[in-house]
Amino acid sequence: MSYKEIYEEWLSNPYFDEKTKEELKAIADDDKEIQERFYTELEFGTAGLRGIIGAGTNRMNIYTVRKTTQGLANYILGVNGQDKGVAIAYDSRRMSPEFATEAALCLAANGIKAYIFESLRPTPELSYAVRKLGCIAGINITASHNPPEYNGYKVYWEDGAQITPPHDGGIMAEVKKVTDFNTVKTMDREAAKAAGLYVVIGAEVDDAYIAELKSQVKNPEVIKEMQKDIKIVYSPLHGTGNIPARRVLKELGFENVYVVKEQELPDGEFPTVSYPNPEAAEAFELGLKLAKEIDADLVLATDPDADRLGVYVKDTKSGEYITLTGNMSGCLLAEYELSQIEKQQGIPADGALIKTIVTTNMADAIAKSYNAKLIEVLTGFKYIGQQILGFEQAKKGTYLFGFEESYGCLIGTHARDKDAIVATMALCEAAAYYKKQGKTLWDAMIDMYEKYGYYKDGIQSITLKGMEGLAKIQEILDTLRNNTPAEIGGYKVVSARDYKLDKIKNMETGEVTATGLPSSNVLYYDLTDDAWVCVRPSGTEPKVKFYYGIKGTSLSDADKKSADLGEAVIAMINKML
């Protein structure tokens, strides 16, 4: 059927409610809007669903959520996992509770028990709950840091990580088979409860999760000694982090935790920011104002589902607060965690630090310094989770730390997704540890630069929306794939990795080797002088991203080299637009 015919079918089919039909009638004269909503189905990809909330096949609504859940239920039934149940969490976004309920009732109608949180919870707690409750899968209703008009649907498997092969492909195939909304099952909530198929969870999982976080503390005695001297500003950015982050800090003994009042309560409109992204400077305006008033040591902000953490730290020499990128905070935590493991029990012979391919090369230097194995995986924290599962299954390999450049890391193996609550806890612990030595976190960062080199990493991205945008993104990747550049920004391309074609080409010798990683539409260029550039389409937004990194001899040298390479990348992008 054409998009117009599908639109008309939604208007006439009694399956769809009147509110949905009224919304669709309101766009009757806007053919472009009708096309945008119905030209395709909101695709269930490896990251699940993510899209704009509204009526239509290409939108997030109760019908697309039910349909997706029916496909998931069919897969679970196919692998005979129905007796284990599914854990469901949601964030503070518009329609998140409603979507979570619809998913639970669809599962229940298929005879699969749903464990649904009583109220909003962070992503890492959902990951933890899947394993804690012995579930076959998990569903998380969140669009992370996207603008307010978005929501999403992430699927986790029984290991607590987001789905990876073969389950991702199997679930996607089952979702695609569900072509008729009328075949999607649902049931009454009270009937589901009476049948023991709709189970509300809360405090018992919260308590166990917080206990797991506290078990990761390396120096509790330092916290006790310095708890009155550390001042922390924290913002949950209107999301899920407020209660768990404050709870764990309080239980560890931190006495001076100041919450940004304007951003404290859950609010899916995110009224204080244009979009709730802890990478963005605007997310910290209110927090920095408070920090200057109270002379805070560090300023922290978690995104709405509390899996990513943004950080500002005070430089006592200048009096200014300096932002840490995800690469910087990740390396700071990696150095702290590994140094304490080495000091307290020694680095295990099979210890590993795991990073994604677009994460800073400083991670490689840290791993080498501590004689730990450095494992590189595709972008997406689920691949770090997959490595932890591999260690467990092989009974070989010790997870030390894992992180990605997009402000996400995991300390411990209680979860299999990035955890901003444990990162908040660990950064505050590190701040106390270094303050006892008369240092700030910024001083610790400078020490790392002196030890490993002045690595600096950046990203440029362009947003290309709609059908035309998707085609343009693919065209950019195809152009680069078929025409490997000889140099970028004055750096010679030493080797070119094509993860889609599973090959690494040595540009000097022409030798081709395998990447050894799963197929992914990503291109990576190793450059001279420890520089690099990587190109990939976003898995969650209509963007193509260009990542790059350099190694300088000082802060100013690194800043200049990074700016120059960034300009060269922009010029390269503009040539292809």
- The structure tokens listed for 466 are 């709609």
Residues 168 and 197 sit within 8 Å (Cβ to Cβ): no
Among the listed residues 416, 406, 427, 411, the one whose alpha carbon sits nearest the alpha carbon of residue 124: 416
Find all residues with CB under 8 Å of 337, minimum gap 6, and list them: 218, 400, 401, 411, 426
How many C-beta atoms surround the C-beta of residue 546 within 10 A? 22
Asked if 143 contacts 541 with a C-beta cutoff of 8 angstroms, the reply is no
Peptide bond before 542: cis, by omega within 30 degrees of 0?
Answer: no
Tokens of residue 175, six digits: 């979702």
Residue 361 dihedral angles phi and psi, to the nearest 5°? -75, -5
185 φ/ψ angles, rounded to the nearest 5 degrees: -90, 150
Q: Which is the catalytic residue, given 96, 144, 406, 562?
A: 144
Residues 6+ apart with CB under 8 A from 372: 338, 347, 351, 352, 353, 366, 400
**144 given a catalytic annotation:** yes
What is the Cα–Cα distance from 288 to 494, expressed in whole angstroms?
A: 42
d(Cα 476, Cα 39) in Å, to the nearest integer? 23
Are the C-beta atoms of residues 490 and 568 closer than 8 Å to each other?
Answer: yes
The two structure tokens encoding residue 368:
């080498």
Strands 86-90 and 49-52: unpaired
Phi first, then psi, for residue 410 (nearest 5°) are -140, 125
Residues annotated catalytic, as ranges: 144
